């Protein structure tokens, strides 16, 4: 019989955890297969740590990983997958925006279709700002346009993955992991599951604009070389404009329709325009060099402080 893991990243989620655990556990109790929940505490500064510790004492099927500080949502999910030894895993947000009640249907679909991945596609989204709805819609379509692999649009990390996919994921050494992209990228049989995304049950989003921007730029830079090609294209266009301008000015001087001394406006326009093009292209290069720098340093993606209820590596077990 296959074992199922639920992986839940948590950052300052004291307001939702008790209810989140109760609802998830309720669903897991109805399943016949062995189950566990892996909570990854991503360096929370509120009561998340003590709440998770208390749950792990009362329920031995709840495993907890405490990070040494806040590393981010994607590293937290990555740690969950790395520490998972089950045959199937579902990635779930702590705030219940992805209802755990759907898990039995997702499992049934996986079994029926013998799929390696069931990715959950949001038909609608409750309780999000217009800004988030619009930017996220644009982001997924833009990513599809820029990336060398096709991604399903409007899907988050809420999905079921099997051992085959987890094994391939565990071989990936890159640091700026865009997990939903990487899971599409591995291939195998991947099928959609449509659902209505709910509002967060309590608390605030843990994704402020700064984290959203970092997430989006990582996705773009790790999955596409098109910005570099576009920078080259921009350079060519600028050169072309420069040539046209030069011809126009020279011919104008000879024929006499141009009075070059009064050409302050055109010169300033050209200087500012080409200055901008150069800064932009150097900036794009800089982004990729920054990534190379991070990858070469090869620091771990996250640091585990200690864990609860993992019997495999007791050296890092919390006292």
Query: Which of 14, 42, 162, 301 forms a contact with ligand UDP (CB under 6 A)?
Result: 42
By the rule CB under 6 A, 94 interacts with ligand UDP? yes
Query: Which of 95, 154, 162, 301 forms a contact with ligand UDP (CB under 6 A)?
Result: 95
CB of 56 to ligand UDP, least distance (A): 17
Measure the CA dihedral 233/238/239/244, to 10°. 130
Structural contact between residues 223 and 146, judged by C-beta atoms closer than 8 angstroms: yes
By the rule CB under 6 A, 135 interacts with ligand UDP? no
Q: What is the DSSP string of 266-280?
A: HHHHHHHHHHHHHHH
CB of 117 to ligand UDP, least distance (A): 20
Q: Which is nearer to Mg ion, 202 or 234 (CB)?
A: 202
CB of 181 to ligand UDP, least distance (A): 16
Q: Which is nearer to ligand UDP, 70 or 224 (CB)?
A: 70
Q: Given the rule CB under 6 A, which of 30-38, 78-86, 143-151, 203-211 is the region that contacts ligand UDP?
A: 203-211
By the rule CB under 6 A, 219 interacts with ligand UDP? no
By the rule CB under 6 A, 207 interacts with ligand UDP? yes
By the rule CB under 6 A, 9 interacts with ligand UDP? yes
The pair phi, psi for residue 59, each rounded to 5°, is: -135, 105
Q: Footprint of Mg ion on this chain (CB under 5 A)?
A: 93, 95, 97
CB of 290 to Mg ion, least distance (A): 28
Q: Which is nearer to ligand UDP, 72 or 100 (CB)?
A: 72
Residue 94: contacted member of Mg ion, ligand UDP, none (CB under 5 to 8 Å, by partner type): ligand UDP
By the rule CB under 6 A, 21 interacts with ligand UDP? no
CA distance 228 to 288: 9
Q: What is the DSSP string of 85-145?
A: -SSEEEE--TTSSS-GGGHHHHHHHHHHHT-SEEEEEEEEESS--HHHHHHHHHHHHHHHH
By the rule CB under 6 A, 93 interacts with ligand UDP? yes
Give the list of residues 6+ apart from residue 264 with CB closer than 8 angstroms, or none: none
Site for ligand UDP in 59-78 (CB under 6 A): 70, 72-73, 76
Q: Side-chain half-sphere of 296: how many Cα atoms within 13 Å?
A: 6
By the rule CB under 6 A, 307 interacts with ligand UDP? no
The pair phi, psi for residue 38, each rounded to 5°, is: -110, 110
Q: CA nearest 37: which of 71, 61, 55, 68?
A: 61
In angstroms, what CA-CA distances link 186 with 27, 73, 115, 146?
29, 21, 13, 18
Torsion over CA: 25, 307, 210, 14 (sign): positive
By the rule CB under 6 A, 100 interacts with ligand UDP? no
Interface residue list for ligand UDP (CB under 6 A): 9-11, 13, 42, 70, 72-73, 76, 93-95, 97, 200, 205-207
């Amino acid at each position: 019989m296959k074992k199922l893991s639920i992986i839940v990243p948590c950052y300052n989620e004291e307001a939702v955890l008790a209810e989140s655990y109760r609802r998830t556990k309720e669903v897991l109790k109805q399943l016949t297969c062995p189950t566990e929940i892996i909570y990854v505490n991503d360096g929370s500064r509120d009561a998340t740590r003590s709440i998770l510790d208390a749950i792990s004492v009362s329920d031995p099927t709840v495993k907890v990983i405490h990070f040494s500080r806040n590393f981010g949502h994607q590293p937290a999910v990555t740690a969950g997958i790395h520490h998972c030894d089950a045959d199937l895993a579902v990635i779930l947000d702590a705030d219940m925006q992805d209802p755990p009640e759907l898990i039995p249907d997702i499992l049934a679909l996986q079994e029926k279709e013998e799929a390696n991945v069931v990715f959950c596609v949001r038909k609608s989204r409750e309780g999000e700002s217009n800004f988030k709805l619009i930017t996220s819609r644009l982001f997924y379509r833009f990513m599809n346009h820029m990336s060398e692999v096709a991604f399903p649009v409007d899907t988050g990390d809420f999905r079921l993955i099997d051992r085959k996919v987890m094994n391939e994921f565990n071989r990936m050494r890159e640091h700026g992991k865009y997990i939903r992209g990487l899971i599409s990228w591995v291939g195998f049989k991947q099928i959609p599951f449509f659902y209505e995304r709910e509002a967060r049950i309590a608390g605030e989003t843990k994704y402020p604009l700064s984290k959203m921007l970092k997430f989006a730029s990582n996705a773009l830079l790790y999955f596409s070389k098109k910005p570099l090609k576009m920078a080259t294209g921009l350079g060519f266009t600028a050169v072309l404009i420069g040539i046209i301008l030069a011809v126009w000015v020279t011919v104008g001087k000879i024929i006499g329709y141009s009075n070059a001394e009064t050409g302050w406006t055109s010169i300033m326009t050209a200087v500012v325009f080409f200055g901008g093009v150069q800064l932009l292209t150097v900036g794009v290069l800089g982004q990729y060099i920054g990534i190379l720098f991070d990858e070469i340093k090869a620091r771990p993606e996250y640091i585990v402080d200690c864990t609860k209820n993992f019997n495999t590596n007791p050296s890092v077990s919390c006292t």
